Structure 1
């Protein structure tokens, strides 16, 4: 009989650093799910929708990427990521081509704020999950968790894909719908394939489809994930329908978008006095000026330095550096452990100087 004393300890992001691949499950022709556990028995606790940061060595270079956990915390003995192979994407292609059962992969987290928080003792609320492509992963975690833990789940799940061949979790969602009658799943395909005609909704999400499938959409809390164009279109539909936008939640893990957003931070935020600090990079032998209200990475790029970075908001850990001297203000999003901070490491994408700095980079 299992008791609290015999249960495995929880995964500790401050100490545990490696996960082991236990299984690889093909979802579509270019999407696979990787089932991961700790080397020794561990339980995982996280909020549905959170991500982990993974590090792989490719050509001798450490590459970092954030992937949402598609698994549910209601099944705590393993975690899973569901990854689409991206043309030219070094990490997604490495995972598909090389990660096999028994292999280890470095991991940090979980972290992230695009989450569903539902307690069993709370009054039931109505939800609308909207996803496109591989953006299904966080909302799939949310849906799995609700089906596992709430008997009064009231949710509509609308997922969009290019074709029937690109539908992720199609069979599992059909099974979940059969187990939870108040969960309604609708798949939308842009077009058929030569070998499979799609009998359901065709095209893209629009106001007519939403009105037909979700007549009570204004009463629901929306969770949206997918490519930027999809999220913009859904956001516009929500505003057009008159949704209280406090009930609209969205997430994206497009690193191209995140790095592009960093350009918007190249101008100081306008802190009083416009204080400037000197930042010296020991390996690059460069010295730049950085305003106290500007991330170090932004100032370095404005000065023409080429420094590695992926997410530009403290999630992935790519820009982690040793702070040799000086002080910074840093608000990160899970891309660094507290013990690393205690050892003098910083993420320069979200670290703002509060004195002159010397950085080992």
Structure 2
């Protein structure tokens, strides 16, 4: 019999809260299962060895801490499972060419292995954002956070008119394809469309790349919807350009970026740049092109970091004074930018910079 079966109503909720996973702390988890989604995508299912429940908002991510060849590495991965199923936590990882961590996970992480995760993190989620009449747009492995959102909404039998458009290279590359088909068949308020840039004659769905005309044909009431988008940098730029052309208000658009690297900002100035870590009492003269993260590592100042692409926001630091060239991929909210936060991984000082660190 379940340990909680004999609890009365007044005892049940406190007992459940006692099993909750402590948020924003580093936790050990066990790999329960590895699922092959496509030829180059796997889902890793984790459980807590302390029999705790995972608490997060649909769309958030966790930091995965690994020790590879005696080197400590950290990467951010969106949670693909929904918070409505709190007994396990899943991340879905695409193997990328030259991807140090993704290749290690695919080749080495097995059932029964223990790793550490930290989180949940991220403002791209259903709890912090309004989502009446949602439209989910995803490209490639960017499907993971919006799939968490879709699963959460359908688990709750939410009756909103949900539209989901996913772009993939070929039909074989569509992640969660059978589940997407099943959800659309089960819930009449859910409409799922997959778009392939390359397809054979057996494919009956849309072919090509999304554009304004395609989006409006699939979602005629798009201008009345709230859009949640996630995908590689090139996909995100294309999607945002389409939505801008349609006239979608910025307040109706939320995004999370996956993969790719932002272009390096060319610094041609001969001005000597320096970084002063005020609370640490350390100053550093920067080499040309050096990031704030580089400067911190050279100075022995610890800065937490994960994606190192300006996406996750883990390495944000308050800038007290000075200017930086920051080529981020959406890792800071407009409010954080207004408060003079910068991302250490993709910010390069322009002259003297003081940091609250």
Contact 1:47 1:115 in 2 (8 A): yes
The one of 49, 52, 66 aligned to 1:42: 52
Determine if the alignment matches structure 1 residue 217 to structure 2 residue 226.
Answer: no
Contact 1:220 1:247 in 2 (8 A): yes
Q: CA deviation at 1:354?
A: 5.8
Tell me the distance in 2 between the aligned counterparts of 1:92 and 1:116: 27
What corresponds to 2:191 in structure 1? Answer: 184
Tell me the distance in 1 between the aligned counterparts of 2:26 and 2:63: 13
Tell me the distance in 2 between the aligned counterparts of 1:131 and 1:88: 23
Q: CA deviation at 1:177?
A: 1.1
TM score, norm. by length of structure 2: 0.75
Distance 1:56 1:255, change over 3 A: farther
Aligned residue pairs total 312
Distance 1:215 1:348, change over 3 A: closer
Deviating more after overlay: 218-227 vs 11-20: 11-20
What corresponds to 1:324 in structure 2? Answer: none
Q: CA deviation at 1:249?
A: 0.8
* Root mean square deviation of aligned Cα: 4.0
Contact 1:279 1:289 in 2 (8 A): no
Instruction: Output one character per residue of 1:309-346: Cα deviation in whole Å (capped at 9) or x when no partner.
Output: 642659586899xxxxxx997xxx89xxxxxxxxxxxx
Instruction: Output one character per residue of 1:102-136: Cα deviation in whole Å (capped at 9) or x when no partner.
Output: 101111111011112289xx9x8201111010000
Tell me the distance in 1 between the aligned counterparts of 2:298 and 2:50: 45
The one of 126, 134, 143 aligned to 1:136: 143
Distance 1:295 1:207, change over 3 A: closer
Tell me the distance in 2 between the aligned counterparts of 1:12 and 1:231: 33
Q: Which runs of 5+ in 2 are unaligned?
A: 321-330, 333-342, 348-352
Distance 1:238 1:302, change over 3 A: farther
Q: CA deviation at 1:159?
A: 0.3
What corresponds to 2:182 in structure 1? Answer: 175
TM score, norm. by length of structure 1: 0.74
Matches within 5 A, 1:230-249: 230-249=235-254
Tell me the distance in 2 between the aligned counterparts of 1:278 and 1:42: 39
The one of 223, 234, 244 aligned to 1:229: 234
What corresponds to 1:340 in structure 2? Answer: none
SS of 2:107's equivalent in the other structure is: helix
